[in-house]
Structure 1
Amino acid sequence: VWVRLHYVYPYPHVDGVLELMRDGKILPYLDIPFQHASPRILKLMKRPAHSENTLEKIKQWREVCPDLAIRSTFVVGFPGETEEDFQCLLDWLKEAKLDRVGCFTYSNIEGAPANDLPDPVPEDIKQERYERFMQVAQEISTQILKDKIGKRMTVLVDELDAEYPVAIARSYADAPEIDGNVFVEDIDKSQIQPGQL
């Protein structure tokens, strides 16, 4: 059985599960909504993480559980976000080297207090920052995946390709529907079934 933790928040709860991950009791995978890295923007977002050194936390987590895969989501273009705030986010991302990331441009949500914040970011700048963010994220992901080439890992088979001798699977670092797939080639379909490790 694979147990994977999603949307772990607030961060102090992570410390209590790392040994379980290291010891194989639950998958070494965390989905943590960091949202941003600029202390000023995190404060505007009313996120408690603005007082924590999240990079240091990530380093500590990886020391306890070296195979830990970390996924997160981020928002660019939050009201008041400056180029300096955005650069802080990019620098943080480069240092954190998260395994999987998603990014969204900020948009007003009915009734949200952030709608009333001053200095909204123009749509073209939000889009440009989104593209820059995703470029950095893709470079990091590419390197992480290259480092896995040639390594053996356990995967969970989701389905068998209808035409070719290929199993479509996921590693512990790939959540269903949001992360990537692992393709196991040259299989004997009579020996492998969906749901099998």
Structure 2
Amino acid sequence: MIPKIRGEHISVPIDDLVREAENLVRNGTREVILIAQDLTYYGVDLYGERRLNELIQRLADVAGLEWLRLHYTHPTGFPLDILATLRERDNICNYLDIPFQHISSRMLKIMNRGITREKTEELIRKIREEVPGVALRTTLLSGHPGETEEDHAELMEFLREFRIDRVGVFMYSAEEDTHSFTLGDDVPKEVKQRRFDELMQLQQTISLELNQARIGQTYKAIIDKRTKSSFVGRTQFDSPDVDNEVIIRNRDLRVGKFYDVEVTDAGEYDLIGRVAR
């Protein structure tokens, strides 16, 4: 549905994006999130080739930009040349949002995703090899037309093996004028709900284990807001509004500033920390 609503890909020239980033930083912005329907397509319509790597290198050169974050890098056509840039540039977050949607090759074919389980797993291994410590976010679709118990079991197996850092799960809902709508909604609502619950419960366990592994470590964090009892921030491994937060009970911190934060405790979706001394 999203491509239909948003239309064709239109790449903004690199120089224009750099100027916009410079203006943002000049006015106090410290984190820039690069987002598109599919970032990996950047440049094809404008330059005749994919130029995401050149774009992020130019943006990372903007003086005063603390964090550059990438959202929606589709696995099909993923530009591997960006991995060295992520690894080498300190101000590009070790974070990638890659919407896998499913892992069963049969389901990926039905969904017109243009990739297989083998290629997906190969990509994940390559990313983790080239960018140690990278946090991966993905979205999964449960109960898509044609999904069997075997397909669902594959998805569960995939989560157990690859332990993706951040996972959003959505239950399939039929939308008119989409490819999936023509397939019919053949998975009963109660089955969708059960599969959704199983995926979320598994990911909750994985998220807790991954977060607990960060206890005792110190990370750079940005402060997003203040509550009555604490400050709320994020590490480079988390995007605003959709990912984990770190709760910091120090006093006299400043919203929008960065601090080194030691993780002292962890829950399924939040870290607890204090400013490192």
TM-score above 0.5, yes or no: yes
Give the root-mean-square deviation of aligned CA atoms: 1.5
Q: 1:181 aligns with which of 227, 245, 253?
A: 245
Question: Does residue 53 of structure 1 match 2:116?
Answer: no
TM-score of the superposed pair, with normalisation by structure 1: 0.92
Question: 2:255 maps to which residue?
Answer: 194
Q: 1:86 aligns with which of 143, 149, 152?
A: 152
Runs of 5+ in structure 1 lacking a partner?
A: none
Question: 1:171 maps to which residue?
Answer: 235
The 1-side partners of 2:117 and 2:216 are apart by 40
Question: 2:87 maps to which residue?
Answer: 22
Runs of 5+ in structure 2 lacking a partner?
A: 1-65, 259-277
Query: 1:12 deviation in Å?
Result: 3.9
One-letter amino acid matched to 2:256:
G
Question: Does residue 111 of structure 1 match 2:172?
Answer: no
Q: 1:25 to 1:47 in 2, by over 3 A?
A: same
Query: 1:116 deviation in Å?
Result: 1.9
One-letter amino acid matched to 1:6:
H
CA offsets, 1:164-197, max 9 Å, x none?
3x3210011111010111012233x1xx211111
Query: 1:105 deviation in Å?
Result: 0.7
Question: Does residue 154 of structure 1 match 2:216?
Answer: no
2:69 is paired with a residue whose SS is coil
Query: 1:107 deviation in Å?
Result: 0.8
TM-score of the superposed pair, with normalisation by structure 2: 0.66
Structure showing the higher strand proportion among its residues: 2
Query: 1:52 deviation in Å?
Result: 4.6
The 1-side partners of 2:201 and 2:110 are apart by 26
Q: Percent identity?
A: 38
Question: 1:67 maps to which residue?
Answer: 133
Query: 1:119 deviation in Å?
Result: 6.6
Asked if the contact 2:104/2:117 (under 8 Å) is kept, the reply is no
The 1-side partners of 2:75 and 2:122 are apart by 15
Query: 1:51 deviation in Å?
Result: 6.6
4+ aligned runs moved over 4 Å, structure 1: none
2:232 is paired with a residue whose SS is strand
